[in-house]
């Protein structure tokens, strides 16, 4: 392919989203596109986004990224799940782990066996049948080529962007430093973007533009006026404050999400420090009060001043509009509760590469991209709303609102189905598996009224044998793992 035939892709923004897009295209579309990324040192990146989910490992495999190199460069730790504290009720906690819980039969998921066991006097918790969850509780972790343990990472956001920048620049991505001051559009009435004017006077022209400019949505919104679907009636938190602290104890292999009376607080252990933040609804908690609460609930010396972030949950009406695709915060924001944003960037760029408009922008490609992206996001949205809706908390106006709010019909249906018969499902193009839905519904305190009768055909002996041997086996696997901190020291210790 000669230079003139190559599509010119311009990425506006060099945060996590911009560099993920650049790295993926540089590797996968090599030789067929010319990639330029524009970023401005005058406009900082958001600087948060440190907890991830397991599909990131598949993305890294696609790019040929070596896990140990990546972990050393980004000071990462391992993540087996999220510990939700004070969500179902104050002083209650559960872990949403990345593992598979128990063993299912063709007709009935494991939760049916567990519920039957409970009725027969078994006292084990649902999570006792999941290796990842047991290991998380014990602070243990190991991985190897043979290991089936499912995990993700906690990473340093700015180092991750730098790591991907190096990766991308080594593969012919051109980086341009400069502030975009004007977005030029075609004068033929199509409204397509033709070029980005920088403060230096340079004009960067292209065929396809990827908006990774953060919440501002410089291209997708400020230029193309795409519109925003507001989800704040379902996800009312609209503010966050983030602060970094020194580590004072060995890193646990999980994120903590600790609910408070007007939102929640995160704790993300990295190798060299801890990322902390409070997410809250400004209608119920002032910024000053949130700041005090955050600083009251951290361990270790603070290393940064708290950084204030304001957001509105929702999504762009179109993720691909004309010749512009929005990724990252420019495309919308659900909530960082289940660490899904970086994943959505990765899914977005993979989807774009599959539908890449080599022959020009065709409405059918655009429609499909938007359809798949919206569907994916709406299912994630429902899963996040579940954490707020299914609660026994009534101790504050915020929780009373969440408990009593109307939820999307799609979620209402799932909640009723589980309550009635312990049934849940994973739809095509859906991120969260049956295991996740079940762990969170039970963890939030939603106990089914009934379960599949097929499990009642097991004799007491068979049921005891089935549950006890599995529980003991999983516990002993978890116990055999090294401590997470020790494993990191051996496997991927960062130099600072
Ligand atoms: C409170 C909070 C917690 C989060 N936690 C998580 C998490 O745990 N896990 C997760 O997956 N995600 C999380 N996220 C989301 C995650 O931070 C983002 O998805 C990710 O960082 C991508 O951001 P971005 O690259 O879209 O935007 P940004 O980081 O804001 O980057 C924008 C880029 O655009 C550039 N830019 C903007 N305007 C111009 C201009 N005029 N000219 C030139 N360049 C410009 C900037 O210089 C910058 O490089 C969280 C988000 C928030 C708000």
* CA of residue 339 relative to chain centroid, distance: 3
* Mean pLDDT score across all residues of the chain: 97
- Residue to mutate, 158, 341, 348, 349, ligand 1, most ligand atoms under 8 Å from C-beta: 341
State the average pLDDT over residues 190-219: 98
- The Cα 493–Cα 471 span in angstroms is 33
How does DSSP assign 160-183, residue by residue?
HHHHHHHHHHTTTPEEEE--EEEE
Residue 4's pLDDT band (cuts 50, 70, 90): low
Sequence ranges of the domains in the chain = 3-50+156-229+316-361, 102-141+382-480, 239-310
pLDDT tens-digit readout, 119-157 = 999 999 999 999 999 999 999 999 998 889 999 999 999
- Residues forming beta bridges with residue 9, ordered by sequence position: 35, 208
Q: Which two tokens stand for residue 179?
A: 């502030």
> Is pLDDT larger for residue 429 or for residue 87?
87
Q: Which pLDDT score, from 0 to 100, does residue 102 have?
A: 97
pLDDT tens-digit readout, 395-427 = 999 999 999 999 999 999 999 999 999 999 999
Q: Which atom number of ligand 1 is nearest to the Cα of residue 215?
A: 30
Q: Whose CA is nearest to atom 20 of ligand 1?
A: 16
- Distance of CA 46 from the midpoint of ligand 1 (Å): 4
- Distance of CA 162 from the midpoint of ligand 1 (Å): 14
User: Tokens 């104890």 map to which residue?
Assistant: 249
Our answer on whether the CB atom of 45 is closer than 6 Å to any ligand 1 atom is: yes
Q: Which pLDDT score, from 0 to 100, does residue 223 have?
A: 98
- Distance of CA 109 from the midpoint of ligand 1 (Å): 38
pLDDT tens-digit readout, 317-366 = 999 999 999 999 999 999 999 999 999 999 999 999 999 999 999 999 99
Our answer on whether the CB atom of 294 is closer than 6 Å to any ligand 1 atom is: no
Would the CA dihedral through 287, 289, 293, 295 be positive or negative?
A: positive
CB burial readout 77-105, b (16+ within 10 A) else e: bbbbbbbbbbbbbeebbbbbbbbbbbeee
Our answer on whether the CB atom of 243 is closer than 6 Å to any ligand 1 atom is: no
Q: Which atom number of ligand 1 is nearest to the Cα of residue 327?
A: 26
- Distance of CA 213 from the midpoint of ligand 1 (Å): 7
Our answer on whether the CB atom of 15 is closer than 6 Å to any ligand 1 atom is: yes
Burial of 23 (0-12, 13-18, 19+ CB in 10 A): buried
The torsion of the CA quartet 216, 222, 227, 228, rounded to 10 degrees, works out to: 10
- The Cα 107–Cα 112 span in angstroms is 10
| Cβ-based neighbours of 15, under 8 Å, separated by 6 or more | 39, 45, 46, 161, 212, 214, 328, 329
- The Cα 211–Cα 321 span in angstroms is 11
CB burial readout 370-409, b (16+ within 10 A) else e: bebbbebbbbbbbbbbbbbbbbebeeeebbebbeeeebee
Does 495 have pLDDT greater than 90? no
Structural contact between residues 73 and 159, judged by C-beta atoms closer than 8 angstroms: yes
Q: Whose CA is nearest to atom 6 of ligand 1?
A: 49
- Distance of CA 18 from the midpoint of ligand 1 (Å): 9
How many CB atoms neighbour CB 194 within 10 A? 17
Our answer on whether the CB atom of 50 is closer than 6 Å to any ligand 1 atom is: yes
- Distance of CA 212 from the midpoint of ligand 1 (Å): 8
Q: Which pLDDT score, from 0 to 100, does residue 161 have?
A: 96
CATH of domain 3-50+156-229+316-361: 3.50.50.60
- The Cα 422–Cα 156 span in angstroms is 39
Our answer on whether the CB atom of 37 is closer than 6 Å to any ligand 1 atom is: no
Our answer on whether the CB atom of 46 is closer than 6 Å to any ligand 1 atom is: yes
- Residues forming beta bridges with residue 211, ordered by sequence position: 12, 326
- The Cα 158–Cα 46 span in angstroms is 9
Structural contact between residues 462 and 117, judged by C-beta atoms closer than 8 angstroms: no
- Residues forming beta bridges with residue 242, ordered by sequence position: 277, 307
Q: What is the largest CA-CA distance in the chain?
A: 79
Characterize the bridge pairing of strands 228-230 and 263-269: unpaired
- Distance of CA 304 from the midpoint of ligand 1 (Å): 18
Q: Which atom number of ligand 1 is nearest to the Cα of residue 279?
A: 1
- Residue to mutate, 10, 11, 16, ligand 1, most ligand atoms under 8 Å from C-beta: 16
pLDDT tens-digit readout, 243-282 = 999 999 999 999 999 999 999 999 999 999 999 999 999 9
pLDDT tens-digit readout, 298-312 = 999 999 999 999 999
- The Cα 311–Cα 446 span in angstroms is 30
- Distance of CA 179 from the midpoint of ligand 1 (Å): 16
- The Cα 19–Cα 230 span in angstroms is 27
Residue 367's pLDDT band (cuts 50, 70, 90): very high
Structural contact between residues 154 and 269, judged by C-beta atoms closer than 8 angstroms: yes
- Distance of CA 41 from the midpoint of ligand 1 (Å): 14
Our answer on whether the CB atom of 239 is closer than 6 Å to any ligand 1 atom is: no
- Residues forming beta bridges with residue 310, ordered by sequence position: 239
Q: Which pLDDT score, from 0 to 100, does residue 5 have?
A: 78
């Amino acid at each position: 392919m000669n230079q003139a035939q190559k599509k010119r892709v311009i990425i506006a923004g060099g945060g996590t989203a911009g560099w993920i897009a650049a790295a993926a295209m540089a590797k996968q579309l090599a030789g067929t596109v010319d990639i330029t990324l524009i970023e401005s040192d005058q406009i900082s990146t958001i600087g948060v986004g440190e907890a991830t989910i397991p599909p990131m490992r598949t993305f890294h495999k696609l790019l040929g990224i070596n896990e140990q190199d990546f972990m050393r460069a980004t000071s990462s730790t391992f993540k087996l799940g999220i510990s939700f504290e004070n969500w179902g009720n104050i002083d209650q906690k559960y872990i949403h782990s990345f593992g598979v819980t128990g063993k299912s039969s063709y007709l009935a998921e494991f939760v049916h066996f567990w519920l039957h066991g409970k009725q027969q006097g078994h006292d084990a918790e649902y999570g006792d049948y999941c290796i990842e969850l047991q290991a998380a509780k014990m602070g243990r972790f190991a991985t190897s080529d043979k290991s089936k343990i499912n995990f993700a990472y906690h990473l340093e956001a700015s180092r991750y962007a730098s790591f991907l920048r190096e990766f991308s620049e080594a593969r012919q991505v051109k980086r341009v430093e400069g502030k975009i001051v004007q977005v030029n559009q075609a004068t033929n009435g199509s409204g397509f973007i033709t070029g980005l004017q920088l403060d230096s006077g340079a004009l960067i022209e292209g065929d396809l533009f990827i908006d990774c400019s953060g919440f501002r949505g410089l291209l997708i919104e400020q230029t193309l006026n795409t519109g925003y679907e507001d989800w704040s009636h379902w996800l009312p938190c609209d503010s966050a404050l983030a602060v970094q602290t020194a580590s004072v104890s060995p890193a646990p292999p999980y994120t903590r999400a600790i609910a408070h009376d007007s939102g929640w607080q995160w704790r993300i252990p990295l190798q060299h420090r801890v990322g902390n933040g409070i997410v809250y609804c400004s209608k119920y908690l002032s910024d000053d009060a949130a700041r005090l609460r955050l600083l009251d609930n951290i361990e270790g010396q603070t290393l940064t001043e708290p950084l204030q972030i304001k957001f509105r949950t929702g999504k762009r009406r179109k993720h691909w509009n004309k010749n512009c695709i929005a990724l990252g915060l420019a495309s919308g924001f659900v909530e960082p509760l289940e660490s899904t944003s970086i994943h959505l960037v990765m899914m977005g760029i993979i989807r774009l590469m599959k539908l890449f408009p080599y022959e020009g922008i065709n409405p059918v490609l655009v429609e499909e991209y938007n359809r798949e992206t919206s569907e994916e996001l709406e299912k994630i949205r429902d899963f996040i709303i579940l954490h707020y809706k299914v609660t026994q908390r009534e101790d504050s106006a915020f929780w009373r609102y969440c408990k009593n709010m109307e939820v999307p019909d799609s979620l209402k249906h799932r909640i009723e189905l589980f309550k009635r018969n312990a049934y849940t499902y994973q739809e095509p193009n859906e991120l969260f598996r049956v295991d996740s839905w079940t762990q969170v519904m039970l963890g939030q305190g939603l106990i089914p009224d009934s379960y599949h009768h097929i499990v009642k055909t097991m004799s007491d002996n068979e049921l005891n044998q089935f549950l006890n041997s599995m529980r003991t086996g999983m516990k002993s696997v978890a116990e055999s793992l090294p401590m997470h901190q020790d494993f990191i020291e051996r496997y991927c210790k960062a130099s600072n």
